[in-house]
Each structure stands twice: as structure tokens, then as C-alpha cells.
Chain A
Amino acid sequence: MSDLHVFRQESRDWLEENCPQSMRSPVIAGEGACWGGRNWTFASEDQKLWMERMGAKGWTAPDWPTEYGGGGLDKAQHKILKEEMARIRARSPLDSFGIWMIGPALLKFGSEALKQQHLPAIIRGEIRWCQGYSEPNAGSDLAGLQSKAVDMGDHFIANGQKVWTSYGDKADWMFCLLRTDPDAKKQMGISLVLFDMETPGVTPKPIKLISGSSPFCETFLDDVRVEKDQVVGEVNQGWTIAKYLLTHEREMIGGMGLTGAGSKTLGAIAAKTVGTTDGRLNDLFMRTDIARWEIDAAAFAFTAERVTDEAKAGQGIGATSAMLKYYGTELNKRRFETMLKIGGSDDLIWDGDISNNGWTARTLLRTKGNSIEGGTSEVQLNIIAKNILGLG
């Protein structure tokens, strides 16, 4: 048996033993998702067990180095682990901006001390992070940000306002872009800094979304003390790191275009709501929409697979996160438009059991943000045109 076969068998056995039964079904509408952190209330004892066991094994961040508590898996092993988890429909033990965004940036650009301080707590789900990038006047044009940090000798003092801070009111720490040199050219005077959300002067205020929930905030910074050792990389060199982090965010958001293993196909759901005759859905226009969507979704899933395999083989063009983000989010929006049509008028009901509290309608509304957050679709197309196609 090859090493990979051994790894597969061992992973399968370990998951069998350690994944609680109730954690072996897809997370629906984010309900049952685990975000961890100081303020987290576990939905069940199983959820807690699952996060802690996976965290202790390093499998919440399977490909991070073991010296910081990660799983230390190579790409082939990581793929196997994903397959084995999908096989038993194991849900993600931990959703985390730490793992998706700031972690990879720290691994590449952070000092040894910052890695030691932050990575193990991210992996174990102890600290939850939020992203302080956007400002009222700096969205797509992120480098136009104005919130600033002034050098006070042994520390910085930060002032300004961030907006659209997802989970700003629930997070423990923020990774934040601040202007540290007001005289430098746009991109040049920006630093990426880290601070605790409990630092005096940090005030997140929830904003209600069209979906009815309030996952994001405006965050005010009034004379916030930022320690000097909490700057990632060099002072005034934060822009490169910020962009690197964004490529990770984009891949993660683009991944929403992938339907999780074990979830029902749109065709199967529609067969229940509109019925079939001779193996065909009774609503032929709906059937066409579904087939079109499923063909595109398959093409997208294979593309995500191909891009990963090419990276592993050292082939390909690398700069694909913009494409995955663009295509995946547009696909996810179409998916929910199709789902709502499949669900019919019952799915328009905003609250109550009939519609599972308006799950489809609310999720449809939430997906509209997918092509905005992490850089809009138009911005991704600009990036493709400029960086990949060389159109000036």
C-alpha cells in the first residue's frame, strides 16, 4: 500500500471514531455552523467536541505547519482528507476568517512572534477574527482608505471608521488596514495591523441587511492603542499583504459556487415540488433553467479541481482567484434564483415553519452580497482584463 493509501485508511478510521453522528449532515443556512471564539455559544455538545477534536489534531487548518498546531498535510493528503470528510458528510468543524484570511497572510508575512501568538489560537477556534478593510469612501477603491494610525513612539494611536465589518460585534480581534504615512502615494502608506476588539475606543455597531439579519457592522475607532509588534510585515508595506490576503478571501467566497457533497441536486428538489411525467419535470422551462445551472455548476466544480491540481503540478497561471470569485459568486446567485422558483410561493413566507423561517428567500438575498464582498464582480473582471489578459 502506498503512503497515501495508508493515510486515507488512517484518516477514515480517525474520522469514524471522532466525528459525532450529529456532525455528519450538511450545515443548512449557516445554522449549525461553528465560528468559535471567546463569545461563542456552542449549539450542542457535539459541535464543541467536533471543533475541539479537529482543532487538537490540527485539521481545522489541515495544510498549516505542525509547529503552529496545524495539520502539516501536503496537497495530496489534504485532498484525501476532504474526500474522506465528504464521504461521511462531515461538516466543517470551524468556519473562520482566521483560517481563511489572516492566517495565510501571517504564515507568509508575519514575524515568528506573531505566528506563535496568533496561529495556534486560530486553529483551536479560541479567537475569532474580523476584517477591517472597507470604509465609507473606500470600497472597490480600497487603497483610498483614510482611517489612520499615528506613530507615538512605542505604539500607534488609530482613528477612523470602518464599515461592512462582518461579525465585527462577535469577533475577538480585528486585522485592519490603516494609513500610517499620510504623505505617501495611495498604496504606499498603508499598514496591516492587529488589535483586540476589547481595546478601549473600538466600537462595532451592527447594520441590518436585506436578509433581515445583522452579520456586519460599522466599526468606529477612537484613539485606539495599537502595539508596534502587532504590525504584520513592515510598516507602510501593508498593501501587498492586503492583496495577498484578498486572493485567499476570493477563493473562499468563490467556493460558495460549489455545492457541498451530499446536498440534494436542484433537479431532485424540483421533482418533489412540480412533479414529473415520464422522467421529466412537469415545468419544462424550469427544467431547462435547472439543467443549464447544473451544467455550469459542474464545469465550475471541475475548474476548481483543475486549478488545484495544476497548482500542485506547478502548472497553470496562478492568478485564478479573481476568475473563481467572479464565476463562483455569479453561479451561487443563479442557484438561489432557481431555488426560489422551485420553492414557489411557500418560499416567499418570511417567518415560520412552512418556509423554515424564510430560508430560501433570505439566503437568496444574502447571496447578492457574494458578488460585492471581497471585491465586486466588476473589480474581478478588471483584474482579469489587466493582470491576465494584459488589456491596459
Chain B
Amino acid sequence: MSSVVENAAAYVAAQQDTAAQLPGYGLAELDAGRAAALEQLSRQGLPSQQDEDWKYTSTRSITRAAFKPASAGATCPSDFITQSVIEGLNPYRMVFVDGFLSAALSDLEALPTHVRLRSLAQVLSEDATSVLPKLGQMLGDPPHGFAAMNSAFVADGAVVEIEAHQHLERPIELLFVSGCGDEGLVSMPRTLVLMGEGSQATIIERHCSLKEVRSLNNSLVEIDLGKGAVLDYCSLQSQSDRSFHVGGLFAGLAESATLRATTVSTSGALVRNDARINLNGENSTVHLDGCYLVFGRSHVDNHTHISHNRADCVSRETYKGVLGDRGRAVFHGRIVVKQDAQKTDSEQSNQNLLLSEEAEIDTKPQLEIYADDVKCAHGATVGQLDDLALFYLVSRGVKRETARRMLTQAFAADVLDRVESVPLRQYLQSLAFDRLSNA
């Protein structure tokens, strides 16, 4: 490799040192994929504010920190898992410690035979040919250096396969615990969700921290929904305020498939989420929702990109943010309607509530429409708590702080209220409640 962008040099070198130990090394297709991603990382480096898509999000604290790739073998006490379960959810659970599966902490008891939950490391070492064609397919060209880095190091994560026409009753929880090993590690889990025609499932991707150590979680999820498949998906980031999170959600939907995804960010020093949804089949539907609660000095950036590639698809996107203290947030919602995508029905909204003078939001909707028969609506708002509503509540005797909290919660609630699974919804609501009460 001729020249390597400086901010990626250490990662490139680390990959070259360890590539031979990565699972599935030697498989031509996999090696080529990793090499291409490494080449991109070398050439582009990690993003900086010169990149249009990172204009409002500085990666300097990430690049300065010089994270070292985490390795398998870190441990997490089982108490921590027991204490952080979502009450009543009763999921099939895979636990990842600094990005690597911990079979001991996972619970796949009574998993039906038509569902396979395996670690990517296992799949790559034993059965790579079955999933290799899918790995990277929904991602396409990595949109930035972090995604390229994840692909160059791709080693472990979850592989979820649901057979055609199977309805999974219990949800699947993918619990990613970071901050288990030393200070300054980067974990890079890669998850693949492959749902057959007409299948249905609920999946929760949850990121939390064991210790308050500086860490980077560079997580990437690819979802392939077959014809008519229905997936309820939730991604939750509630890591420590010393952790950085760069997450990707890349989904492709076949004809008549439905994805309902909700991304919730409640803490972390910096959270950047890229969601890229391709509506590849006619009549497919995506509901892409987000809720970000940004306090202290946190920074949350949601970049979404929904592409209507075929006719008669529906997209509904609602992102809501509550910002206090010196919190900063970015929302960039791109909707692309391709020439063939007639009868597209698309709505996007981004609403923000600013609770302090120092909080700041940059919001940018971006519509690109190349078809002529479409219905597209979008809107963004930034506001403060409504004084009159506040007065109405206190005039009934509600204490001012309580009234503020009630209004703030009400603002954030509608996104969470739409979450299908009752235990998950209640968990998210109480998480938001706590976050806003302590704000």
C-alpha cells in the first residue's frame, strides 16, 4: 500500500499484523473483501470535519485516542448481565464482550430449529460459504472509514438466520458490552440478519458499558429482509459517558417486506449512527424512528439515508431529540426516490426540544426525487418547552420541575410509544424517564 492517511495508519498496521489470525483467513472471497476494505481505510482514513457527512461531528477525540483493537477473551461478570436484563422480555440472548461472543453469558435455550443464532467467528471458520455472499452486500461501498475499518477487521458478531415463513415468538437480544477489557480498546462487531420470505421476528441490539473506561464501539449491522418478511428492530445505545459509538444499520428490503426500526441513544460521549435503508422490492415499507436524549457534553449524530428504488414503497421517518446542558446533536435525513420508484409515499420529520441555551442541534433534511408521481413530506422543528403548557400544569399545582419533566417526556414519548414489544417499550420509557429526571 503506497500512502496511508495518518489517522488510520495504526489501525492499518494492526490489521496487517493480525490478519492471518482472523477467522476464515485464507478464504479467497473473504480475504479479498478484507483487503479491499483495508485499502479504502488506508486511502480515505477516518473521516474528519472536511467530509460533508461529518461536518458537524468532530472525530478528533476518537483519532487522538489511538484505540487498539480489542481481542477475544475479556470477561464480564454474569451478575452484570443478570442486572441489566429487560424485565419481561424473555429473549434469546447473545452476549458480546468487547465485540466477541461469550457463549457462557448467552442464553439460547429452547431456540426453535428454524432459527439459527451463531457467532460470525464460528460461521466464518466453519461454514463461511453459506453467508459470505451476504456479508457486505447490504453495506455496499462503506460510506466512511469506520465502516471500512469494521470490514477490514471483520471477525465476530451475530449471525441471525430465520427460515422462510417462520414467526419467531420470543425476541432476540444482541447485547454488546463494551469497556470490559483495558482502557482504550476498539471493538468492531459485525452482525448479519438474514430473514427468509414471509418470516417475522423482533431483534434488539443493545450497547452498554461494563466499566467507565475510554472505548470505541465500531458496530455494523446488515439486515436482509426476504419477500414479505417483517422485522421489528431496536438499537439502543446507553453506554458510559467515556465511550464512543459509531454504529451502522444497513438494510435491504425485498418486495412487501416491512422493517420497523427504532434507534434510541441515551448516553455516551459521542454517538454516530448511520442508517441506510434500501427499498429494493415493490410495496416494501420502512418505519425508521429515533429518539436521542443528549445531556452533559454528549454528542449524538444520526445520519439516515432511505432509498426508494422501486415503485409503491412507503417510508415513515420520525426522529425526536431532547437536548440539555451542552449537548449537541446532528440529524441528517436523506431520502432518495429513484426514477423507477413511482407512487412513492414518504414522510420524514425531525423534532428537537432544546432545554438549555448551550445545547445545539444541526438538522438537515435532504430530498432527492427522480420520479414524478410521488408523495413526499418532510419537516424539521427546533423549539423550547411551551410556556403556556407549563403554566397550565403548574396552575394545577404541579411543581415546576415536575411539569417540565412531564412535558419533556411527553415530547419524547410518541416515538417510544410506537415500539411494538410491550416489555421493550416499557424498558425504553423508563430509561428515558430516568434520563430526563436526572437531567
Q: Do A and B come from one complex?
A: no
